[in-house]
Amino acid sequence: MTRRTSDHSQPITVAISGSGGSGALTAGSILLAAAQRCDRYGLMMRAAGPQVRGGESVAILRIGPTPVTNIGDRVDLLAALDWRNIERFVDELPLDSDSLILFDPDSGPIPDLIAASGAEQRGVRFANQAKAQPEGRANMVAVGVAGSAIGLSLTALSEAAGEILANKPVETVRATQACISAGYPKPALAAETAPTRPARRRWRLSGNAAAGLGALRAGVDFVAAYPITPASEMLEWLAPQLERIGGNLVQAEDELAAVSMLVGASFGGVPALTATSGPGLSLMTEGIGLAVASETPIVVVDVARGGPSTGLPTKSEQADLDQALYGLHGEAPHLVLAPLDVGDCAFTTEWASRLAERLQTAAIVLSDQALGQTRAVIDPPAAAPPVPGRKRIDQDRAEQAPSTAGTAGTAGTAGTAGTAGTAEESPAKTAFARYRQSADGISPMSIPGEAGLTYTADGLAHDERGTPSSNAAHHRAQLAKLADKLSGHDYGDAWARRDRGDDYTHRNGSRPISLVTWGSSWGAVQEAAMRLREQGVAVQTIALRLLAPLQHEAMRRALADSEVLVVEINASGQLFRYLHAERVLPSAARSFARPGPLPLRPAEILNSVRELFGPPELERTEAAAISGAGSSRRLGGQA
């Protein structure tokens, strides 16, 4: 036992690796399920070689007694079932001299690249021990060994194996449990074999599933989509659940169809959502623009992967922010949100869906592979803040009644098309003013089936009825309304997750530090902040959940009088640029931006803070020697 693996008060990172068919991923899944049973928190990422199926793979888990937000700086324990193609994973397996490697001496010597880490090495004859059991498998012996090393009980491991292998024949499950037990150090203490019951309600799910759950919570009843990695699992999670709640999922012929299907369903009054990734998002931009212009609510979850083009389908990067913010032609204001962790995928997707409904617009939710395909044990995510639903005709009438006198721009609900001849065609007589200008920019929306409120939705520039018009005043009014309804909405506090620690003040004459980030980078940033505070640095974190519309005033207030570092995983500093474009950053703000596909590690941020703002008392934190993450590009403030 190394220092790190024997201290169970701190999170521990465990990796299980093996060649195709070795079952490294199943082993990881059992460990995570066992952690849930032992009242731990945790998360599990995976990496695999290029083979479509069945190549070498690694499960990397981090397990701890408090919520685990990121994968940490290094691997504490590596259980290598064999060494086949392990060099493919060196970047993902940062080991150092405090790490422990469990390996099967029968599968050959430790490769130099791994041995170079200086990690402690311990031989365990996984395969040989497995052979002792009928149908025994080496990976399950490793589950026993690794599970005990990180403090999981034998009972929890056995139960977890039963759950994960529920579809297998009972003999297989028994053999598995026997192997786990064989790997588990003897004698197992009584406590370790007592039946488990987690003290607290705790969930195990992926970010993709959480996003799906958020959609259901928000009332989404229609999904249309086209498969794409790494978004498919979100759809595959949703399909059977929608069956259960009476909703529909349509597998479309392509993404162009999918996004237009959403617009149709939503026009019909049914909240609608899709999930995709970069290439699919590109194909959807025209349809998203239609939703914006026709004011039909839809939600598009982008589970981002590395780019550009087909890019890195199974790896993560935060490089679709530019497209999500700016990717529509013409002026097309819309919502952009990003979940901050696995559980937050539920919160943010729910909130985004509710906001889209209320504001009659498109919402893009920027998840990514690192959230979507990570499975985690977490506290159940909170419900999103309440948002009123679509403005239907009765609400609109109620709003208008008391205030007709006072409010600018409130024309009759059954309005006219404006001055004669300004609309393209002849003026309305009694038709419904679907796009009526109102005080909050939100027009009443009828849905098919409602008599007397028929209208034709349109993506052409139009007047208040929806009739196409190229009149300048109509165009200006439409654009102003699209922008104002978004900027005028009160989003409350949920726009960001903020943490100032206990002691966020000036200290020894130096200003406190603001770490600004978004999306999946939050986990590493918050851990970096924690460690900085331990070293006596005053630091706050601001993780943006609502990216557009940006909360300018709140941001400026939050950043006032601090050193600012913007952290994200992409090559060009997309958030950094965006915040400058919106003029909320001080000119001396700095950027830490580096491309994927490697997960962000807290040490990278610590090092960047030290280099850029370096209070002398700050310890240098070595990123593990073999991590390839060092060559990030840093953009200084230059204006």
Partner 1 sequence: MSATTTPTLRARDYLSDIKPIWCPGCGHFGVLSALTKALAYLERPKEDTAVISGIGCSSRLPAYLDCYGFHGLHGRALPLATGLKVARPDLTVIVAGGDGDGFSIGGNHFLHACRRNIDLCYIVMDNAVYGMTKGQASPTTPPDWTRSPLTPNGPGIPVFRPAAIALAAGAGFIARGFSGDPHGLSELIARAILHPGFAFVHVLSPCRTFRPDDQSDWKQGVHPFTDRARCDAEAVPALRVDDDGMGIGVLHEADPKAHSGPKDTLADADRAAAIDRIEAELEV
Ligand X SMILES: Cc1ncc(C[n+]2csc(CCOP(=O)(O)OP(=O)(O)O)c2C)c(N)n1
Pairing assessment for the beta strands 120-123 and 77-80 based on DSSP bridges = unpaired
- Segment lying near partner 1 (by CB under 8 A), choices 59-67, 137-145, 418-426, 492-500: 418-426
Whole-number Cα distances in Å, 570 to 53, 151, 319: 28, 36, 5
Tell the smallest beta-carbon distance from residue 68 to partner 1 (Å). 17
Q: Does 54 bind partner 1 (CB under 8 A)?
A: yes
- Segment lying near its own copies (by CB under 8 A), choices 14-22, 82-90, 212-220, 391-399: 82-90
Instruction: Map tokens 């695999």 to a residue.
Output: 48
Pairing assessment for the beta strands 41-48 and 375-378 based on DSSP bridges = antiparallel
Tell the smallest beta-carbon distance from residue 502 to ligand X (Å). 47
Compose the 171-210 pattern: x for residues touching ligand SF4 by CB under 6 A, - for all others: ----------------------------------------
Tell the smallest beta-carbon distance from residue 362 to its own copies (Å). 10
Residue 419: CB atoms within 10 Å: 10
Contacts of residue 108, Cβ cutoff 8 Å, sequence gap at least 6: 82, 83
Tell the smallest beta-carbon distance from residue 422 to its own copies (Å). 8
Would the CA dihedral through 329, 331, 335, 339 be positive or negative? Answer: positive
Q: Does 52 bind ligand SF4 (CB under 6 A)?
A: yes
Pairing assessment for the beta strands 100-103 and 41-48 based on DSSP bridges = unpaired
Tell the smallest beta-carbon distance from residue 279 to ligand X (Å). 4
Of 126-145, which residues contact its own copies (CB under 8 A)? none
Which of 93, 108, 33 has the alpha carbon at shortest distance from 59?
Answer: 93
Tell the smallest beta-carbon distance from residue 207 to partner 1 (Å). 13
Of 285-344, which residues contact partner 1 (CB under 8 A)? 286-287, 290, 294, 309-310
Pairing assessment for the beta strands 248-251 and 222-225 based on DSSP bridges = parallel
Residue 168: CB atoms within 10 Å: 13
Of the candidate residues 53, 186, 197, 201, the single one contacting ligand SF4 (CB under 6 A): 53
> Smaller CB distance to ligand X: residue 228 or 259?
228
Binding site for ligand X (CB under 6 A): 226-228, 255, 279-280, 283, 310
Residue 313: CB atoms within 10 Å: 14
Of 288-307, which residues contact its own copies (CB under 8 A)? 289-290, 292-294, 304, 306-307
Which of 145, 134, 176 has the alpha carbon at shortest distance from 158?
Answer: 176
**Distance in angstroms (rounded) separating the CA atoms of residues 100 and 3:** 10
Q: Does 639 bind its own copies (CB under 8 A)?
A: yes
At 112 the three-state DSSP class reads helix
Cβ-contact 621, 91 below 8 angstroms:
no
Cβ-contact 81, 17 below 8 angstroms:
yes
Q: Alpha-carbon dihedral of residues 485, 486, 488, 491, nearest 10 degrees? A: 140
Which of 551, 546, 492, 550 has the alpha carbon at shortest distance from 337?
Answer: 546
Please name the helix (run of DSSP H) or strand (run of DSSP E) that holds residue 43, with its range, or none: strand 41-48
> Smaller CB distance to ligand SF4: residue 53 or 429?
53
Count residues binding partner 1 (CB under 8 A). 93
**Distance in angstroms (rounded) separating the CA atoms of residues 133 and 182:** 9
Q: Does 275 bind its own copies (CB under 8 A)?
A: no
Compose the 334-373 pattern: x for residues touching partner 1 by CB under 8 A, - for all others: ----------------------------------------
Which of 255, 325, 324 has the alpha carbon at shortest distance from 287?
Answer: 255
Of the candidate residues 120, 135, 163, 322, the single one contacting its own copies (CB under 8 A): 322
Q: Does 87 bind partner 1 (CB under 8 A)?
A: no
Of these partners, its own copies, ligand SF4, ligand X, none, which one is at the site of residue 53 (CB under 5 to 8 Å by kind)?
ligand SF4
Of the candidate residues 30, 59, 428, 513, the single one contacting partner 1 (CB under 8 A): 428
Structure tokens at 171: 């003999």
Q: Does 221 bind partner 1 (CB under 8 A)?
A: yes
Q: Does 227 bind partner 1 (CB under 8 A)?
A: yes
Of the candidate residues 43, 86, 258, 384, the single one contacting partner 1 (CB under 8 A): 258
Q: Does 260 bind partner 1 (CB under 8 A)?
A: yes
> Smaller CB distance to ligand X: residue 245 or 460?
460
Q: Does 329 bind ligand SF4 (CB under 6 A)?
A: no
Of these partners, partner 1, ligand X, ligand SF4, none, which one is at the site of residue 287 (CB under 5 to 8 Å by kind)?
partner 1
**Distance in angstroms (rounded) separating the CA atoms of residues 228 and 626:** 32
Cβ-contact 365, 319 below 8 angstroms:
no
Compose the 31-50 pattern: x for residues touching its own copies by CB under 8 A, - for all others: ------------------xx
Structure tokens at 201: 């309600």
b vs e for 192-210, b when ≥16 Cβ sit within 10 Å of the residue's Cβ?
Answer: bbeebeeeeebbbbbbbbb
Bridge partners (DSSP) of residue 250 are 224
> Smaller CB distance to partner 1: residue 13 or 285?
285
- Segment lying near its own copies (by CB under 8 A), choices 74-82, 195-203, 409-417, 454-462: 454-462
Compose the 409-448 pattern: x for residues touching its own copies by CB under 8 A, - for all others: -----------xxx-xx-----------------------
Q: Does 487 bind partner 1 (CB under 8 A)?
A: no
Tell the smallest beta-carbon distance from residue 32 to ligand SF4 (Å). 26
Of 94-123, which residues contact partner 1 (CB under 8 A)? none
Tell the smallest beta-carbon distance from residue 545 to its own copies (Å). 21
- With vertex at residue 538, the alpha carbon angle to CA 533 and CA 542, rounded to the nearest 5 degrees, is 90
Of these partners, ligand SF4, its own copies, partner 1, none, which one is at the site of residue 603 (CB under 5 to 8 Å by kind)?
none
- Residues in the chain, total: 639
Within 64-206, residue ranges assigned H as helices are 112-115, 126-131, 138-149, 154-164, 170-183, 190-193
The site for ligand SF4 (CB under 6 A) is made up of 52-53
